[in-house]
Amino acid sequence: MITNAPQRQRRILELLEHQPSLPTSGLPEELGVTAMTVWRDLKDLEEKGILRRLHGRVVRESAAGQEPDFGSKRTRNQRAKDAIASQAVNTLIREGDCIALDGGTTVAAMARQVLPRNVTIVTNSLHTAQSFQHHASRPVVYCCGGLLREASGTFIGREALAFFSKRRFQRYFLSATGVDAEAGITDLTLEDNEVKRAMAASSDEVVLMADRSKLGVVSHMEVMPWRRITHVITDAAPSEIAPIWARAGSGVRIHHMM
């Protein structure tokens, strides 16, 4: 019996890694819980955008259709993303900083905040760069080159990796599809994850920005382990983030919004 909901949900996602769809009828026995408990777990995963329920079966959301584009993800949990972005700007960005931003919608929400003076923003995201184009705080904005991914609006490939390898940043602001105590930080595509790691390697600190819907989720590929993270900004309650705190250790500072 798996009594912990995040562990049950991880097991469901592990089963889906090996088959395109999964019958729900066998899950109560597999997990050692009631059908109602399984129904709640599947409903929670569907609300987080991780899987879809279809007539007695479930499929990964990425298998049910195309990768969600930037516009469709922008409106999910927008209030939480704005609160996380506000905390990031107010506590971790200083006048004159040079910062790296990835292409996630939580990170892009920083464009709705007032920045300190003379901030330089470097990103691999066309959407993020455009969000700051007419920003009232007048940051200096650089965007790398490379191959443009249609779904995410991010630049990937050798040009992007070379661009970030030659720069230094005070902080890199990172988003992810999944945030799990054991699996670490995970996301959907190898190419985007390579650029995320390049930005982290060029930064003094790495700031993970994740709303509570990302906790306990394991996506397709690891972005980086917990030892690379300096700060976590989340709207999750302390009890929800406790397993991550225990795994990541005292080297990670966790910022909560309640």
Q: Which domains, ranges and CATH numbers included, belong to the chain?
A: 5-64 (1.10.10.10), 71-256 (3.40.50.1360)
Handedness of CA 156, 159, 163, 165 (dihedral sign): positive
Give the mean pLDDT of 103-122: 96
What is the predicted pLDDT for the residue at 14? 82
Q: What is the DSSP letter of 227?
A: G
- CB neighbourhood size of 136 (10 A): 7
Of 212 and 111, the structure prediction assigns the larger pLDDT to: 111
Of 65 and 150, the structure prediction assigns the larger pLDDT to: 150
What is the predicted pLDDT for the residue at 91? 95
What is the predicted pLDDT for the residue at 70? 67
Residue 195 has pLDDT above 70, yes or no: yes
Integer angstrom CA distances of residue 232 from 8, 46, 62, 70, 160: 24, 24, 26, 22, 25
What is the predicted pLDDT for the residue at 89? 97
Q: Are 106 and 128 in contact (CB under 8 A)?
A: no
Residue 24 has pLDDT above 70, yes or no: yes
Chain center to CA of 149: 17
Tokens of 110: 């920083």
How big is the CA angle at 119 (ends 113 and 124), to the nearest 5 degrees? 85
Residue 64 has pLDDT above 50, yes or no: no
Task: Please report which confidence band the pLDDT of residue 151 belongs to, taking 50, 70 and 90 as the band edges.
Answer: confident
Residue 63 has pLDDT above 70, yes or no: no
Tokens of 163: 């661009």
Q: Are 172 and 99 in contact (CB under 8 A)?
A: yes
Give the mean pLDDT of 61-83: 68
Of 238 and 166, the structure prediction assigns the larger pLDDT to: 166
